[in-house]
Structure 1
Amino acid sequence: MPIKNIALLGFMGCGKTTVGRLLARKLGFRFLDTDSLIEEKSGLSIPQIFERFGEKHFRKLETQVLEEVASWKKLVLSTGGGLPMKDENWKLLQEKFLTVFIEVPFETLWRRIAADPGRPLLRRYPRKDLLEKLYLERLSRYRQADVIISAGESTPEEIAEAIIDHAQADC
């Protein structure tokens, strides 16, 4: 039985895109990043979308992109950190993908993302405590994923291999 499409979930900075590219290459799957696809379709960067149209519009674009790619085959999808929070997105992810949460401790995430100007949510959550609150709000949804990979000290290669092991066992 073939391996199901895989959706990578997790907070910004957890390594979804890096791991996703590696995983897709190893499986011979196509790799897509929802944020990159939104940028490509809109002609705007994620920070520009947030600035011009707001987060609500961005979340609508996320849903549109997810609906578009959900029926594709042999796909590794890196989702935006907030994408799984919308119930209709979560339902589609559960139906069409093996969902994988890449779990990284908040302190590690904070070190990775604190100085990144390409993270529009840092404008809304500029302090560590505010961003941690958002992380904790999302954590319960992330933990509903089919597979949870604790990735604090693991390399992207090790994470990809662990996901492959789970995906093969799932099919």
Structure 2
Amino acid sequence: MKNIYLVGFMATGKTAVAKILAGRLNLKLVDMDAEIEAREKMPISEIFRLKGEPYFRDLEKGFIKRLARGEGQAVACGGGVFVDPENIGTMKKSGVVICLTSKPETILRRTAADASRPLLNVADPQKKIEELLEKRRPFYAQAHHTIDCDALSVEESAQAVLNILQHERL
């Protein structure tokens, strides 16, 4: 089975949905952010602070290249990984890319108590969310499929992905 890449903005449910997919489809679960943190031995917020965003994006690119050599993986991608054209091409060739979306207000509510989100440690996080979503919109639109998860539970979001996958040749 090809890889299933879940992309989209932070707090759209990528990791929770990937866990369900991995269990139901007997796939290997890969949480990109958690894997990068383990390899770097520090949280992403510290990677950003100490080494910068370009360093982190390079880590993501290398990680995607390694994942693409395998198959049978349910991959919860970092929110910004799909804005790099090379990553987009690699992911689309090696699997099915599904973008999970939510409204800025929902994302803000879900991330409000989480100080580990380096891109949202700003004076006006909702404005930052809106700016980043607008900037990333044309990239996210290149996913094979998009699911609006705003009004869906994690279980319903996972079922929506499973419904899509029934029509894919994996």
Query: Does the alignment reach a TM-score above 0.5?
Result: yes
Distance (whole Å) between structure 1 residues aligned to residue 80 and residue 141 of structure 2 = 14
1:16 and 1:130 mapped to 2: Cα distance?
A: 20
The answer to whether 1:71 aligns with 2:69 is yes
Q: Deviations over 1:106-144 (max 9, x none)?
A: 111111113311101112574321221111111221122
Cα separation, 1, equivalents of 2:73 and 2:83: 21
In structure 1, C-alpha distance between the alignment counterparts of 2:94 and 2:168, rounded to whole Å? 13
Listed one character per residue, the Cα deviations across residues 8-53 of structure 1 (whole Å, up to 9, x for unaligned) are 0110010100111111101100010111111111111101101110
Q: Which of 130, 151, 159 matches 2:128?
A: 130
Q: What TM-score, normalized to structure 2? A: 0.94
Q: Distance in 2 between matches of 1:126 and 1:107?
A: 12
Cα RMSD over matched residues? Answer: 1.3
Amino acid at match of 2:75: L
Give matches, 1:22-171, under 5 Å. Answer: 22-123=20-121, 126-171=124-169
Aligned residues: 169
Consecutive unaligned residues of structure 2, counting only runs of 5 or more, are: none
**Structure 1: runs of 5 or more not aligned:** none
CA gap of 1:111–1:4, structure 2 versus 1, over 3 A, is: same
TM-score (norm 1): 0.94
Runs of 4+ aligned residues of structure 1 deviating over 2 Å after TM superposition are 123-127
Residues 7 and 79, structure 1, Cα contact 8 Å, conserved in 2: yes
